[in-house]
């Protein structure tokens, strides 16, 4: 690898940093108002280019702000496996984004290169795939990213156009495995796996009532058009897509989308007919890496409908049941099949009822990680089959490469046709899921398959367990770093007396559980509480918030 300082300095001079702004690289990459992002996006292009050279692989860079308002935008980097940027590179990305001038940019790069013995391991050429969502600012920012990539000698910037975030991650993963990596290849793989699963449905399986498809809220984002294209390929996929981004439908993520439905517990726009709301509904977010499901339930003595939400916890549980069924049928009859390590990964925000159901009813191992998809993804990758979802609907299923190789080469000497079909179904599942990142389109297909196999309506799915009532609060503090946690953010180590106070309050209510954690983006401490009733959950959250306010130097009145 050779670095051309003059080329880099000239390019960097065209993208001066905004005054008084500090960029932090997290799970969402860099994200802010689009008007101040050009410099950060340009420099993220440099990071992606250097990462490509360092790993001798294709890297991805996506321009999106996901579920944020339309005036925002952001940039995130897809690593060589299709997952998120290696965490060891996040401090470098952050230092580079906040360098004061072109000379400092060059110095940050040189320091990083020499510190990592970069020249001894880097390739002479690289490639970065660039994608964007439908935000108006995306065209300008994509150009900034392209210039950042091309500021590094020998690295090619391949503009892939308007994509969902999961599509770009999928393309990076496929490219580095020597597979077809076009958008059409993406649709072909998902649709092939979906068709195979439906064709291999056991006799008599399927919904008891006639299936009339899903009504899908596209959040006025990129996912609506991509889902429409997928529907054109998969003829058995019955979808009524609303909020697809037309001029009359509203703005991106405004009163629509998975984040709105999940956080506000409200129906998205254009979901107003009572007869429709009793059907199966789903909502994507702005870049289609999240999805939640919902339906309307008639309120007693009223004409209105109450929203019944099936969030990431319910999706995770459905997938765990479906995959466990395939493994049980296979392993019960094919005795020579190797033992499989199946596990699910959650954060402390997962509803306690879901965790209890997974452990006690299904007997599945549950691991906890700190909040953030990057933590969940890496933990899930430790299992032969690892499933993870956040409550917001972001998650996927990971199948370890060694396990996939067993599926491809295993030839059972015993067992029935049913067990052999289970083997084939697991292979088909690996085609439907996006192993790079959570993917709303992929999840929608697998939910449909699982419901067909279970013979369930959305109401049946919802009834597998009842969520414990919960409440979340924020406490403003002078310095959120005063709060220190352990055990996947479920226990407080500092301030010293805070955890004991939380335990006392949780013991006062039925099924009480509470934890606190410092926000990653603002000077607040987040409080989560759940209990047997909503009144108890609200009371527990308020009591814990008061303790946080007193012991962590709260600002203003406690919640």
Q: What CA–CA distance (Å, rounded) separates 497 from 331?
A: 49
Q: What CA–CA distance (Å, rounded) separates 348 from 259?
A: 19
pTM of the predicted structure, to 2 decimals: 0.94
pLDDT tens per residue, range 410-429: 876 666 777 788 899 999 99
Residue 517 marked in a binding site:
yes
Residue 55 marked in a binding site:
no
Residue 79 binned pLDDT confidence (cut-offs 50, 70, 90): very high
Within 13 Å of residue 497, how many CA atoms lie on the same side as its CB? 6
Interval 537-549 mean pLDDT: 96
Residue 361 marked in a binding site:
no
Q: What CA–CA distance (Å, rounded) separates 84 from 435?
A: 11
pLDDT tens per residue, range 264-318: 989 999 987 766 777 899 999 999 999 999 999 887 766 678 899 999 999 999 9
Residue 526 marked in a binding site:
yes
Residue 391 marked in a binding site:
yes
φ, ψ of residue 238 to 5 degrees: the values are -100, 110
Within 13 Å of residue 312, how many CA atoms lie on the same side as its CB? 31
Q: What CA–CA distance (Å, rounded) separates 331 from 329?
A: 6
Which tokens in the block code for residue 36? Answer: 């101040």
> Residue 108: pLDDT above 90?
yes
Own/partner pairs, 493-499, CB within 8 angstroms, 24+ separation: 495/551, 495/552, 497/551, 498/547, 498/548, 498/551, 498/552
φ, ψ of residue 337 to 5 degrees: the values are -70, 135
Interval 192-216 mean pLDDT: 79
Residues 6+ apart with CB under 8 A from 10: none
Residue 33 marked in a binding site:
no
Domains along the chain with CATH numbers: 5-177 (3.40.120.10), 212-309 (3.40.120.10), 313-462 (3.40.120.10), 470-551 (3.30.310.50)
Confirm if 443 and 315 have CB atoms less than 8 A apart: yes
pLDDT tens per residue, range 487-501: 999 999 999 999 999
Q: What CA–CA distance (Å, rounded) separates 233 from 225?
A: 13
Most confidently modeled of 131-145, 239-253, 407-421?
Answer: 131-145
Helix axes 183-199, 165-176, angle to 10 degrees: 90
pLDDT tens per residue, range 502-532: 999 999 999 999 999 998 767 899 999 999 9
**536 vs 3 pLDDT, higher one:** 536
Which tokens in the block code for residue 12? Answer: 């960097």
Give the length of the chain. Answer: 559
Residues 6+ apart with CB under 8 A from 364: 320, 324, 342, 343, 344, 358
In the block, tokens 């392209």 appear at 146
Interval 187-206 mean pLDDT: 89
C-alpha 550 chain-centroid distance: 35
DSSP string, 234-282: -TT--EEEE--S-TTT--TTSS-SHHHHHHH--PPTT---HHHHTS-EE
Own/partner pairs, 399-408, CB within 8 angstroms, 24+ separation: 399/426, 399/429, 399/430, 399/433, 399/435, 403/340, 404/430, 406/338
Residue 519 marked in a binding site:
yes
Confirm if 23 and 40 have CB atoms less than 8 A apart: yes
> Residue 119: pLDDT above 80?
no
Cβ neighbours, 10 Å, residue 316 = 26
Helix axes 183-199, 440-454, angle to 10 degrees: 10
Strand partners, 215: 240, 281
Residue 558 marked in a binding site:
no
Question: How distant, in Å, are the alpha carbons of 175, 283, 395 from that of 341?
Answer: 28, 32, 19
pLDDT tens per residue, range 359-403: 999 999 999 999 989 999 999 999 999 999 999 999 999 999 999
Q: Which of 20-24, 121-125, 406-410, 464-468 has the lowest mean pLDDT?
A: 121-125
> Residue 339: pLDDT above 90?
no
Within 13 Å of residue 476, how many CA atoms lie on the same side as its CB? 5
Residue 206 binned pLDDT confidence (cut-offs 50, 70, 90): low
**Catalytic positions, please?**
66
Residue 94 marked in a binding site:
no
Which tokens in the block code for residue 281? Answer: 């509904």
> Residue 72: pLDDT above 50?
yes
Interval 34-60 mean pLDDT: 97
φ, ψ of residue 156 to 5 degrees: the values are -95, 135
Residue 103 marked in a binding site:
no
pLDDT at 293: 97
């Amino acid at each position: 690898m050779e670095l051309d300082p003059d080329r880099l300095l000239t390019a960097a001079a065209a993208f001066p940093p905004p005054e008084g702004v500090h960029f932090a690289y997290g799970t969402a990459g860099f994200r802010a108002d689009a008007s101040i992002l050009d410099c950060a996006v340009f420099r993220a292009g440099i990071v992606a280019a250097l990462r490509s050279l360092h790993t001798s692989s294709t890297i991805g860079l996506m321009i999106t702000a996901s579920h944020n308002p339309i005036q925002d935008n952001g940039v995130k980097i897809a690593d060589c496996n299709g997952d998120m940027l290696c965490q060891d590179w996040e401090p470098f990305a952050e230092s580079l984004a906040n360098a004061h001038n072109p000379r400092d940019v060059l110095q940050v790069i040189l320091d990083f290169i020499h510190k990592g013995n970069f020249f001894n391991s880097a390739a002479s050429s690289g490639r970065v795939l660039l994608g964007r969502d439908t935000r108006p600012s995306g065209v300008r920012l994509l150009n900034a990213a392209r210039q950042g990539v091309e500021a590094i000698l020998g690295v090619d910037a391949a503009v892939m156009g308007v994509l969902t975030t999961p599509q770009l991650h999928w393309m990076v993963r496929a490219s580095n495995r020597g597979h077809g990596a076009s958008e059409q290849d993406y649709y072909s793989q998902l649709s092939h796996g979906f068709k195979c699963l439906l064709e291999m449905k056991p006799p008599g399986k399927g919904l008891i009532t006639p299936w009339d498809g899903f009504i899908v809220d596209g959040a006025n984002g990129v996912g609506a058009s991509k889902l429409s294209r997928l529907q054109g390929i998969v003829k058995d996929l019955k979808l009524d897509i609303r909020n697809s981004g037309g001029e009359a439908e509203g703005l991106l993520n405004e009163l629509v989308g998975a984040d709105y439905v999940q956080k506000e517990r409200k129906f998205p726009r254009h979901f107003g007919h009572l007869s429709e709301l009793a059907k199966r509904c789903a909502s994507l977010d702005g870049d289609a890496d999240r999805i939640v499901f919902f339906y309307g339930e008639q309120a007693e003595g009223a004409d209105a409908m109450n929203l019944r939400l099936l969030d990431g916890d319910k999706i995770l549980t459905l997938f765990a049941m479906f995959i466990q069924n395939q493994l049980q049928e296979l392993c019960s009859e094919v005795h020579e099949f190797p033992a499989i390590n199946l596990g699910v990964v959650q954060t402390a925000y997962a509803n306690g009822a879901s965790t209890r159901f997974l452990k006690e009813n299904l007997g599945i191992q549950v691991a906890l990680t700190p909040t953030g998809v990057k933590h969940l993804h890496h933990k899930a990758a430790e299992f032969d089959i690892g499933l993870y979802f956040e409550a917001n609907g972001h998650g996927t299923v990971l199948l370890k490469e060694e396990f996939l190789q067993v599926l491809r080469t295993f030839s059972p000497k015993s067992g029935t046709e049913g067990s052999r079909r289970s083997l084939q179904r697991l292979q088909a599942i690996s085609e439907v899921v996006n192993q790079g990142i959570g993917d709303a389109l992929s999840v929608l297909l697998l939910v449909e398959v699982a419901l067909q196999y279970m013979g369930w309506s959305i109401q049946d799915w919802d009834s597998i367990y009842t969520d414990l009532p919960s409440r979340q609060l924020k406490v403003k503090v002078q310095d959120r770093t005063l709060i220190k946690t352990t055990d996947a953010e479920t226990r407080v180590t500092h301030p010293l007396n805070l955890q004991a106070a939380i335990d006392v309050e949780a013991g006062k209510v039925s099924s009480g559980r509470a934890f606190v954690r410092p926000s990653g983006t603002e000077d607040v401490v987040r409080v989560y509480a759940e209990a047997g009733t909503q009144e108890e959950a609200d009371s527990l959250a308020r009591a814990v918030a008061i303790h946080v306010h007193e012991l962590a130097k709260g600002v203003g009145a406690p919640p």
